[in-house]
Amino acid sequence: MTEFQHGGDLYTIMEKGGRTEGELLDFSANINPLGMPERVRAAAASALAFCDHYPDPKCRALARALAEKERIPQEYLVFGNGAADLIFRIAAALRPRKALVTAPTFSEYENALKSVQCQVLHYALEKEKDFQLDEAFLACLDEPLDMVFLCNPNNPTGQLIPPDLLERIAEKCEEKEIFLVVDECFIDFVKEPQVCTVKDLLFQCRYLFVLRAFTKNYGMAGLRLGYGMCARPDVLRLMREAGPPWNVSLVAQKAGIQALQEDDYLQKARDLIFVQREKLRQQLIGLGYWVLEAAANYLLFQLRQLEDPAYIDEFTSDLLEDGILIRDCSNYEGIGRGYFRIAVRTEEENQRLVEALIRRERRWQKQL
């Protein structure tokens, strides 16, 4: 069985440790700390009364609402069973032969590419440069490439690509006829999303696909709803044909329509994250960790390099004893030992994490 590579796997923890879901505090998945909006939850619940019918395979009502929200033509939209569904669909639809991804970044890009026997090249992001993408990336686009995946802000680093650089990358990909996929699933948690997005370039770039989801910003991870934006009807048609129909449930469609009306809720979450992110970062620095300054709703940090390997190896299990899950980043391509990622949650939850970390550091100090 393939090992699950992501955060949010409460089920394996519960199966192994006998804990219930309510006993676990999950910092391993970067979900809106306020959870799902109540009106979205109510919309999902009310949709159950109609589940004896098939869902709309074209998601028409959702497409109309989203096109108005994003201010793009409705025919630019495609929907999926979460963002991961669309990542695999675009790889299956276009079947690239050679593609480029950064390292570290979200693993499903490479998994999707390899599923269609694509050769995957890696562009290494360096700790000495705070894992920031720089202009040297442009030279890599002179290679004979079919596809490029970029995550903005990147996962797990939380780093934004400078808007002018991202625009130049999109322009060069257009010139070279390289299909550029930009994952913006965390864009709502940056301070100026309208400045950082490449959505407006869709009107001039036919080799651009922008990926987003309702998962993180509206707390809808369990409902599975993602969408893509692209000016190529032929590409979107191939994506729809690349998998089975009815890939978006009726419940998810109804919940998505309601979520698009939750601007106040999303702003409340943004305000909380902007305050708590820096506070949490400073607390981690105070514990002696290297902590990357991030633009998203999560933080990447590295533990101190003590001589005893158990200090790092037992980190996640020690926190689990306190009922806390975090994301071990050791299985990310291009990242070293001792890196972990945590979501930014409410002040009370963040404090519970920090107190658990303080207790652990004190135990280790006594052993030195």
6/233: higher pLDDT:
233
Q: How far apart are CA 197 and CA 234, in angstroms?
A: 23
Put simply, whether the predicted model's pTM sits higher than 0.75 gets the answer: yes
Q: With contact defined as beta carbons under 8 Å apart, do 148 and 179 qualify?
A: yes
Residue 353 has pLDDT above 70, yes or no: yes
pLDDT of residue 347: 97
Residue 209 has pLDDT above 80, yes or no: yes
pLDDT of residue 339: 97
- Average pLDDT in the 205-214 region? 98
Quick one: 50 exposed, middle or buried, by C-beta within 10 A (0-12, 13-18, 19+)? Answer: exposed
pLDDT of residue 307: 82
pLDDT in tens, 227-266: 999 999 999 999 999 999 999 999 999 999 999 999 999 9
Q: Domains in the chain, start-ordered, CATH in brackets?
A: 10-30+263-367 (3.90.1150.10), 38-259 (3.40.640.10)
pLDDT in tens, 289-309: 999 999 999 999 999 988 899
Residue 81 has pLDDT above 90, yes or no: yes
Alpha helices, DSSP H, located in the chain: 10-17, 38-47, 60-70, 83-94, 107-115, 136-140, 163-176, 193-196, 233-241, 250-259, 263-286, 310-313, 315-320, 347-367
